[in-house]
Amino acid sequence: MNKFFYSYDDIHRAIAVLADKIRHSGQNFDLMLAIGGGGLIPARILRSFLNIPVYSVTLAYYDAEDRPTDCPHKVQWLDESMAAKLRGKRVLVVDEVDDSRVTLAYCLNELKATGIDQLGVAVLHEKQKTKQAELPPGLPYFSAITVGEDWIVYPWDATDIDAHNRDITAQQHERTTQ
Ligand code: G4P
Ligand code: MG
């Protein structure tokens, strides 16, 4: 699978675009719920544009060897006092990538089951592919960038950010000389 490397600056610019789409939609949200890990940094950047608080849950679908597990599982979820705070609020669920949709759909279903049902979704990357789960019809949905099936390498996955940035430079060089 091809890889596509993104810098923090690319991410920030994409989130500015995402914020514009949300603002121009006329939809208003009271707060964001980031799906960690990947949704945490996008949600924090989005907060600079939308000025609404960020809450979070952590779900994991891929294991340590990057293989999908049977079902997403809750690493950290809302306790009852947090759920009570979110009921009746318009919640924008934020994640980095809409890939198979399994994690997103799982999260939305679990929120609904908790009585949190005024929901929207914002993702940085929307992969154009056959989805393995459906989002509720009519759900407000926003994505910054539509991409193919390449594996996206996010800067926060790097353990050596300088090597990551060198990969970006090499990628840009490859694309301009193609
Ligand atoms: P979806 O519902 O949002 O479409 O996600 P899906 O269940 O298909 O898979 C989610 C997991 O797959 C996430 O990891 C996400 O980070 C990872 N993933 C999917 N495509 C890509 C990609 O192109 N690049 C990277 N880096 N990750 C991708 P997770 O288990 O939720 O872990 P976390 O990294 O969010 O903590
Ligand atoms: Mg994720």
Q: Catalytic annotation on 99?
A: yes
Instruction: Indicate the number of domains in the chain.
Output: 1
**Which domain, by its residues, includes 80?**
3-177
The response to whether residue 106 sits with its C-beta less than 6 Å from ligand 1 reads: no
Mean pLDDT across the stretch 26-38?
97
pLDDT band at 68 (very low <50, low <70, confident <90, very high): confident
**How confident is residue 34, by pLDDT bands cut at 50, 70 and 90?**
very high
- Whether residue 34 contacts residue 42, with contact meaning beta carbons closer than 8 Å, is answered with yes
The yes-or-no verdict on residue 70 having pLDDT over 90 is no
Which residues have C-beta within 8 Å of that of residue 129, sequence separation ≥ 6? Answer: 99, 100, 148, 149
Ligand 1 contact, 20 CB (< 6 A): no
What confidence score (pLDDT) does residue 62 get? 82
Question: Model's pTM, two decimal places?
Answer: 0.95
DSSP structural state of residue 83: H
- What pLDDT, in 10s, does the model give residues 92-150? 999 999 999 999 999 999 999 999 999 999 999 999 999 999 999 999 999 999 999 99
Q: What would the two tokens of residue 17 be?
A: 């675009």
pLDDT of residue 21: 98
Any ligand 1 atom below 6 A from CB of 154? yes
pLDDT class of 48 with cuts at 50, 70, 90: very high
**Which numbered atom of ligand 1 lies nearest the CA of 150?**
23
For the domain that residue 79 is a member of, what is the CATH number? 3.40.50.2020
Q: How far apart, in whole angstroms, are the C-alpha atoms of residue 99 and residue 113?
A: 23
State the amino acid at position 86 in one-letter form.
L
pLDDT averaged over every residue in the chain = 96
